Amino acid sequence: MKERRDFIEVEAKCVEFGGENTILDCIREVASEDHVLHQCRPRCPIDVYFDNSYLDLCNLVAPFRLRRRSTKDGWTANFKLTATQPIDGVFLERREIVTVLAPQDAVAYMKDRIPGVAASTAYRLLESEGCDCEILPVIVMVSWRRHYTLSLRLSDDRFARLIHVMIDNVTARDVRELDTNTLIATDKLDIPVSAANCLKFNEVCEIEIDGRGGFRDRSFEFAKKLIWRIEKSGARFIMIDKYTSSAQRLRMLSATTPDCRK
């Protein structure tokens, strides 16, 4: 186990944007000769979202997930706390905590609690709200992700990364009645898909501020211009995360709307 990051994430999400090429055209239209667009290698993130039987983390809009690591064994535990009020009507700003877990740490929920700061913060939030703290896998989400970064070219041949743009095609599966232990212990996805408990998202585009190295203001400035251009093309920006959207569309919340808070 290793603690990786504890930072403030700032992102905006949009749908109905006309496809990947539309987003790239918008970026190129807003960018100048001082900007460099880089295409990262496509990935297939696998996320296992955890919650209690009342889906209280979903109700609190504070998702906790395990994400399979792309190049090494194991998982990262990610916990995102409830967001503050939207910035400029489109940006969500919230604290994100990331812990790296070995496979044996990731399945600790079977007997005890998942270790690390990300998980312990999620448990503490549930405790503070008077909720059940036994969290188990509820949704597995598989994405096909295309990832771009936009950087600012500096005078000394260095680059300052400003934003990340990620375009995902997502399949979500309700796994509350399935055994996901093998998936988490071995990183092997062997979960049957049925029409009743599975859904596919249309493309979702995420624009995430980077702004490290003192370039946060420039990151915001460029992101705002890009969002204005994307909105102009007919896209719709949304304030809901993929976990909450999946739970709603899979009708997982219909029987659990009254949460367990005392």
Residue 116 near residue 77 (C-beta atoms within 8 A): yes
Residue 91 near residue 228 (C-beta atoms within 8 A): no
In a domain, 8, yes or no: yes
In a domain, 163, yes or no: yes
In a domain, 107, yes or no: yes
In a domain, 262, yes or no: no
In a domain, 182, yes or no: yes
What confidence tens digit (pLDDT) does each residue in 80-112 have?
A: 998 877 888 899 999 999 999 998 899 888 889
Contacts for 22 with CB less than 8 Å, ≥ 6 apart: 230, 233, 235
What confidence tens digit (pLDDT) does each residue in 36-74 have?
A: 999 999 999 999 999 999 999 999 999 999 999 987 888
> Looking at residue 102, which CATH number applies to its domain?
2.40.320.10
**Tokens found for residue 136:** 């188990």
What residue numbers bound the domain in which 191 lies?
Answer: 2-249
What is the per-residue burial (b if ≥16 Cβ within 10 Å, else e) of 102-123?
Answer: eeebbbbbeeeebbbbbbbbbb
Per the prediction, the chain carries an average pLDDT of 89
Report the chain's terminal Cα–Cα distance, integer Å: 34
Q: Which of 47, 59, 76 has its CA nearest to residue 132? A: 59
In a domain, 261, yes or no: no
Domain count, the chain: 1
* pTM, to two decimals: 0.91
If you average pLDDT over residues 133-159, what whole number do you get?
90
pLDDT of res. 260? 38
In a domain, 258, yes or no: no
pLDDT of res. 88? 85
In a domain, 255, yes or no: no
pLDDT of res. 70? 82
